[in-house]
Structure 1
Amino acid sequence: MRNVGLKVRMAVVGTILFAFYTAGITFFYVAFGAPIPLLIGASIVFIGVQYKISKWFTLRSLKGQELPEDQYPEIHRFVEQTSRDMGIDKPELYLVEMGVPNAFALGRRGNGTVAVSRELIQILERDELEGVIAHELAHLQNRDSIVMQLGQGIASIIGFAAYFAVLMSGDNDLVDIFLGMIVSNIAQMLVMVFVFAISRHREFVADRDAATAIGRGDPLARALEKISQGAQRREPTAEAKDVSALCIFGSDTSLLSTHPSTEERIKRLRSY
């Protein structure tokens, strides 16, 4: 993470997430009397298992298949060279079914996966596709997937704490169970607001790093234009909607969005 702005944002959001995590652990300690070391260990295992299952389930739900090197040798060579330049291991490459042109990265720099949709390969020129892939490699280099997964794990812990807090304060009947689920979702959403805020900035950083990797920003800008147009003409699969937070393109611009506006990204890319 060479970007100073990203480091500052990470420090602020990291402090907030740590406060949420501490609050969750403290609640379970007070409510159930479980030892702190046990709670910390259990939370680490929970987040780790969640991370592993999420990666496996995401690729499986999108009918992911390894990208054949004999059919796409240029993509594999580009990924191998760019990964070497970025100082990361070459990730696994997958072809997925999303119904729309898109791409995403999973994992970490030493054990990563980059997935591209079949529709993306069909509509992009070679330099545009390289811009998209470089963007995803930048996410691996900057550990963005790990940060997102950690945030989701902490949000889940807070959600569990909120759920049990409601149950323990009521009669533990169906009304309390229903109310607990609502409060749990609201609590998780509150945590994710901070995760999504840093995610939006991380997209700008990955765009810039991709432009640096391929020498200019225009190919990725053109790719984003085509991806945006493709998203307007086609409907993503239900499974693709579930992983939209991971993808290079997201159309939501609300407080809970994980991506900045496409127009602003394209404007910045064309200034590089």
Structure 2
Amino acid sequence: MRHARLRLSLLSRMGVALAVLLVVSVAIAVTAIVAGGVLAWLVLLPVLYALETLLLPVFGEYYGLLHWVLTDPAPVVIAAGTVLLPLLYFRPVRAKIRAFRTELGKAGAPASETHPELAEVVRRLAQQADVPEPDIYVADRRRPESYALGGRPDGTVIVTTGLLNRLSAAELEAVLAHELSHLVNGDSRIMNLVLVPMLIAEQVGSDDPPSRRLLVSQPLAYLAHLVLWAALSVLTTVQRWACQLAIAVLSRSRELAADRGAAELTGSPSDLASALEALSDNRERPREDKRTWAKSAGALDILPRETAVGSRGLLRTHPDIETRLQHLETMVVERTSAGQ
């Protein structure tokens, strides 16, 4: 009964997070369309002016295009913004995510060459889960970390030497089972997908304020640019925060689901609990200063990039360690009761 309530709670939280993301994604798409459309509209005005004042009178024709675009800009803004949306925002964001995931996925050396026993554990766990064996790499980093990228057919698991040096064999197997559960559930692909609207909002609102030189030469243009920049900055900031909140709720739910999947796969919830306790004692602030889109890797790690920041507040990407340990302890009790 408790198990069923836990699953229902996880599903309901995922549903709420996805609903919020859907609403915010639509708002972000509209904002991006309007921003790109206004830009195209401003570029079109001098072009039409040149056509109607310089070229068309030569042929004795006048179509009133400039007047139409000035008095009814909405169709032009919407049409141009829709066409430019994938070019200005969607493709660059997806390219950044793919490049980062590729770089992360190639980190380190194949475990089959450096740690064959590790590759054997992953092979056995994949057979138990009835999924294709993922690639596994070992990155030479002191900080204990583990990631899962991709999905069932083309998954990759990455662990660091810091993780290998800190955990026992049973704890390491539990962590690998946790990452394999992420692959089974397609969590990396889902997180890639839901990150797109947030990063689009970030890109729409990333322009710098207008130069003060424009204030001297064209004060009206400066004022219009300043108002547009301020409005986009405020709007996209609110949208990004809403996305981050929904992504955090979704990520926390999927971490609990991966914990449960790992415990079921290994048959030992206590090993994963022991691993989480061991790792949580050694989380420190990462030294590298990564860009916002690269920080998304923190949501893929088995624990947040730093416990003091990543596991507290509404925007935390992971459940707090006490909640995770409590859920695993509940599974231990359930298994003990079933065994009796």
TM-score range, shorter chain: 0.7 to 0.9
The structure with the larger Rg is 2
Q: How does 1:149-164 map to 2 (within 5 A)?
A: 149-161=192-204
For 2:288, give the aligned amino acid.
A
1-structure distance, mates of 2:97, 2:280: 29
For 2:104, give the aligned amino acid.
T
**Offset, 1:131:** 0.4
What is the match of residue 253 of structure 2?
A: 201
For 2:303, give the aligned amino acid.
F
Q: Which runs of 5+ in 2 are unaligned?
A: 38-77, 211-220, 332-340
For 1:247, give the aligned amino acid.
D
2-structure distance, mates of 1:179, 1:154: 18
Q: How does 1:63-212 map to 2 (within 5 A)?
A: 64-161=107-204, 171-173=224-226, 177=229, 180-181=232-233, 184-212=236-264
Q: What's the secondary structure of 2:286's corresponding residue?
A: coil
**Offset, 1:48:** 3.8
Tell me if structure 2 keeps the 8 A contact 1:106–1:145: yes
2-structure distance, mates of 1:58, 1:71: 18
What is the match of residue 55 of structure 1?
A: 101
Query: When the two structures are superposed, what TM-score results if normalisation uses the length of structure 1?
Result: 0.82
What is the match of residue 10 of structure 1?
A: 14
Q: Classify 1:204/1:170 alpha carbon distance in 2 versus 1 (closer, same or farther; 3 Å).
A: farther
Tell me if structure 1 keeps the 8 A contact 2:202–2:236: yes
Q: Classify 1:55/1:163 alpha carbon distance in 2 versus 1 (closer, same or farther; 3 Å).
A: closer
Aligned residues: 264
2:26 to 19, 22, 29: 22
Percentage of matched positions with identical amino acids: 27
**Offset, 1:150:** 1.6
- The higher-RCO structure (CA 8 Å, 6+ apart) is 1
2:275 to 210, 213, 223: 223
What is the match of residue 236 of structure 1?
A: 286
**Offset, 1:93:** 1.1
The answer to which of 69-78 and 38-47 deviates more is 38-47
For 1:109, give the aligned amino acid.
R
1-structure distance, mates of 2:234, 2:140: 33
**Offset, 1:146:** 1.7
2-structure distance, mates of 1:153, 1:18: 12
**Offset, 1:237:** 3.6
2-structure distance, mates of 1:182, 1:24: 12
**Offset, 1:219:** 0.7
Let me know the Cα RMSD of the aligned residues: 3.2
For 2:101, give the aligned amino acid.
K
Q: What's the secondary structure of 2:79's corresponding residue?
A: coil
The answer to which of 219-228 and 3-12 deviates more is 3-12
**Offset, 1:94:** 1.6
Tell me if structure 1 keeps the 8 A contact 2:201–2:236: yes
**Offset, 1:260:** 0.8
User: Which structure dedicates a bigger proportion of its chain to helix?
Assistant: 2
Q: Classify 1:185/1:67 alpha carbon distance in 2 versus 1 (closer, same or farther; 3 Å).
A: farther
Q: Classify 1:125/1:47 alpha carbon distance in 2 versus 1 (closer, same or farther; 3 Å).
A: same
Q: How does 1:245-260 map to 2 (within 5 A)?
A: 245-250=299-304, 251=307, 252=310, 253-260=312-319
Query: When the two structures are superposed, what TM-score results if normalisation uses the length of structure 2?
Result: 0.67
The answer to which of 117-126 and 143-152 deviates more is 143-152
Q: Deviations over 1:243-272 (max 9, x none)?
A: 322210121311111011112212221332
Q: Classify 1:38/1:83 alpha carbon distance in 2 versus 1 (closer, same or farther; 3 Å).
A: farther
